Amino acid sequence: MESNEEQRAHIRAGWPYGIEWRIPVPGTTYDWRGGELSQRRVRASLISQAIQPTVPDARDVLVGLPVMYWVALQIGMNAEALFREVASAAIPEMRKLLIDWISEPERQSPEDGGWRLVETPDGPRYKLRW
């Protein structure tokens, strides 16, 4: 799934970045209430971050990775393989973030990353503790 900057720019041009996407949990999707989370949607979410032209603040990326990893596991994906696959298409800075993060298993729990699962009117959601 490797890509160059020209290919990433082509994908970004047609991507719906203006939509408010939610943090996923099983039984939900990023962009609509009551939808169904799928492997395709989880992969697309990671790719959307990975192909951005820059990484303005690595902390903003790193804080969301534990939830994406956990969701991938919960829906039967090989989360490590997914992150490595997406890293291969990423811009160099994001590639390094993904590979470094996936290489540290102690960072992969949502709770260790500051997240907690809460019930909301739209169903369960991960929220940051702070």
Count the Cβ atoms, other than its own, within 10 Å of residue 62.
16
Q: What is the mean pLDDT of residues 88-117?
A: 88
User: Using CA atoms, how far apart are residues 5 and 89, in angstroms rounded to an integer?
Assistant: 9
Decide: residue 28, CB within 10 A, 0-12 exposed, 13-18 middle, 19+ buried. buried
Residue 94, amino acid: M
Give residue-wise pLDDT tens across range 8-55.
788 777 766 665 555 455 444 344 455 567 788 888 888 888 888 888
| Residue-range domain boundaries for the chain | 5-128
Grouping H, G, I as helix, E, B as strand and the rest as coil, residue 68 is helix
Q: What is the mean pLDDT of the chain?
A: 79
Q: Between residues 19 and 5, which one has the greater pLDDT? A: 5
User: Using CA atoms, how far apart are residues 120 and 49, in angstroms rounded to an integer?
Assistant: 26
Q: What is the pLDDT of residue 48?
A: 83
User: Using CA atoms, how far apart are residues 84 and 28, in angstroms rounded to an integer?
Assistant: 24
Q: Are 55 and 91 in contact (CB under 8 A)?
A: yes
Give residue-wise pLDDT tens across range 107-120.
888 887 788 888 87
Residue 29 phi, psi (nearest 5): -130, 175
Grouping H, G, I as helix, E, B as strand and the rest as coil, residue 123 is strand
